[in-house]
Amino acid sequence: MATNKHAIIRYEALDRCFSNKGRKFFINDLIAYVAEAIKDKTLETKK
């Protein structure tokens, strides 16, 4: 799937991270969170 198709998923995942004032996210945390969100969303659409 093209990377542009995942843009909305990435933006929403990053927005959830940046809106969470209770936790400090490092770059590796953000990468893992976005990758997990994309994986979950693509698995969800395949069902």
Predicted pLDDT at 3? 60
Look at residue 18 in the predicted model and tell me its pLDDT.
Answer: 96
Are 13 and 34 in contact by the 8 Å Cβ rule? The answer is yes
pLDDT at residue 39, rounded to an integer: 93
Helix, strand, or coil here: 26? coil
pTM recorded for the entire structure = 0.78
Place of tokens 């998923």: 9
**What pLDDT, on the 0 to 100 scale, is given for residue 2?**
59
pLDDT tens, position by position, for the chain (47 residues)?
556 778 999 999 999 999 999 999 999 999 999 999 999 988 877 76
**Cβ atoms of 38 and 10 closer than 8 Å:** yes
Please report, for the chain, the start and end positions of each structural domain, with discontinuous segments joined by +: 3-46
